[in-house]
Amino acid sequence: MAAPSYIISRAVDPVFAIFIGVAAAATRINREEKEKGRTTSETLAAAKRRILGLSGKTAV
């Protein structure tokens, strides 16, 4: 039986995969928002409002 193959280690590989996925999603969202004429700061402000809205907190 072949030994398991890991990129970094058994414990860190899932964290690495999540990081890569989130970074890819953020890059895609930022690119799509720029095509719509929005700046990165406007995109981040909208994301912050959306995240705060999901958690039930009020935006400051």
Q: Where are the domains of the chain?
A: 26-60
Whether the per-residue pLDDT at 24 is higher than 70: the answer is yes
Distance CA 7, CA 16 (A): 9
Other CB atoms within 10 A of residue 42 CB: 13
Asked if 29 contacts 21 with a C-beta cutoff of 8 angstroms, the reply is no
Instruction: Tell me the pLDDT band of 58, cut-offs 50, 70 and 90.
Output: low
For range 16-24, the mean pLDDT: 94
